[in-house]
Homo-oligomer: A and B are copies of this chain.
Amino acid sequence: MSRPGPRERLLQAASDLTYEQGVHVGVDAILKEADVARRSLYQHFGGKDGLIAETLRGAGVEARYRQVMDDAGDDPRERVLAVFDELDKITTRPSFHGCRYTAAELALTDPAHPAHAEVRAYKDRLHRLFEDELRRHRHPAPGFGADQILVLVDGVLAHAVTRPDAHPARAARALAEVVLDQPR
């Protein structure tokens, strides 16, 4: 029943605050939110950069995609389309602030920042996720199809930040159906 240790609290606080306010939140704000001593941050993560990178690695966004798919049953077509239905819900919530990975990628100018590798790894995992579904669906070109799905997903998340009322997820869903209905 005891609360998690400093490391977990730091990751949680960093995850929340960087999503709400971007990766440029101050270390002080994160420390206060996590209720953790300054020293613990540098002990566990070496610095702010390390904490940011580790936060992205452990965000578990990919797991939520899997969950949505699993809730949609076994049919790959329904599983993929369910993602866009979910995106329509997410992107119209007031708490929606875009894709944390895309935001981090754009905000961190320094190409040497460890976060970039995490973003790349995340998107590669997502690509594999969709590619597997398309392969099960007997899509003629699962790799290319997965690229298309990823463009749609990233497009929805990017566009909805500025024009959520346009319901980009619905527009994208119709195109995702086209990807899924390729002659096999």
Complex interface: stretch among A5-13, A61-69, A171-179 = A171-179
A interface residues with partner B (beta carbon < 8 Å): 20-22, 24, 97-99, 101-103, 105-107, 109, 119-120, 123-124, 127, 144, 147-148, 150-159, 161-163, 166-168, 171-172, 174-175, 178-179
CA distance A179 to B174 in the complex (A): 10
- Measured CB to CB, the nearest residue on chain B to A163 is B123
Q: Chain B contacts of A105 at CB under 8 A? A: 98, 161-162
Q: State the 9 A-B residue pairs at the shortest beta-carbon distance, nearest first.
A: A155-B155, A151-B155, A147-B171, A154-B158, A158-B158, A103-B106, A148-B171, A154-B159, A154-B155
- Measured CB to CB, the nearest residue on chain B to A106 is B103
Q: Chain B contacts of A120 at CB under 8 A? A: 162-163
CA distance A163 to B102 in the complex (A): 11
